[in-house]
Amino acid sequence: MGLIVPDAIEGYLANLNHGGDPLLDEIARKGADRKLPLVDAEVGMLLRVLATAVGARKILEIGTAVGYSGIWLARALPPHGMLLTMEMDPERGQEAQENFKSAGLSSRASVIMGDAQRMIAKVAGPFDLIFQDGDKKLYVPMLDRLVALLRPGGLLVTDNVLWDGKVVPGYVRSATALAERDASAERDETTRAIAEYNERLAAHPALLTTIVPMRDGVSISVKRG
């Protein structure tokens, strides 16, 4: 059972959101076979809904992988809109480009290969929406630059902010009867980095933030005007 959303609820939501997009379904299936940490279709739809709601014309994504979430985002763009998406693994970036092409989105989606922490210094905003789904330990170091790249009223959306419940001290232990001696696993480096990020988001003077406890936790922050 998932530790945040019970399997039955996840199954119900998945059935409702069965849009029947063969390309996305195939990318998700192949990704699951390779254990790639892609968002699921519900988070994909959340991204598309949010991008549509803010009338996004320019979107930045950190962590492309093979382009699954990027396709959801790019589908919300108008014909001359643009998704810039950053990936440090060249093979994944190449595969993402091919997937964008198969989705008919090559003109609206551009993969920037390299270390996003360095690349974000070089891109020009403002962006209407930024999706942060890269290295969790870089969430805090990248935060202020990403906020600077957002337009007022724009959204910063971040995946995995509940980290399977590990950001809540004692929760995983109580939910899984994890032995006391294994409890340190709850507070590993990545968990601490995400917990710190959530605190930064909550206290950030330029942001209003809510966390949606779907899948692995998705934060949605709007930049104040």
Ligand X SMILES: C[S@@+](CC[C@H](N)C(=O)[O-])C[C@H]1O[C@@H](n2cnc3c(N)ncnc32)[C@H](O)[C@@H]1O
Q: Contact residues for ligand X (CB under 6 A)? A: 37-39, 63, 65, 68-69, 86-89, 92, 115-117, 133-135, 138
* Residues 14 and 41 sit within 8 Å (Cβ to Cβ): yes
* Residues 25 and 17 sit within 8 Å (Cβ to Cβ): no
Nearer to ligand X, 87 or 186 (CB): 87
CB of 153 to ligand X, least distance (A): 23
Question: 220: Cβ–Cβ under 8 A, 6 or more apart, which residues?
Answer: 50, 155, 156, 157, 209, 210, 211, 212
Nearer to ligand X, 208 or 219 (CB): 219
- Give CA–CA dist 123/133, Å, rounded: 17
Residue 206 vs residues 201, 209, 225: alpha-carbon distances, Å = 9, 10, 8
CB of 181 to ligand X, least distance (A): 29
Residue whose beta carbon is closest to ligand X: 63
Nearer to ligand X, 175 or 212 (CB): 212
Site of tokens 């692995």: 216
Closest of 215, 219, 161, 221 to residue 38, by C-alpha? 215
Residue 145 vs residues 84, 88, 126, 187: alpha-carbon distances, Å = 16, 18, 11, 27
Question: 31: Cβ–Cβ under 8 A, 6 or more apart, which residues?
Answer: 38, 65, 66, 68
Nearer to ligand X, 36 or 202 (CB): 36
Closest of 75, 77, 83, 143 to residue 112, by C-alpha? 83
- Backbone φ, ψ for residue 87 (5° rounding): -145, 130
CB of 65 to ligand X, least distance (A): 4
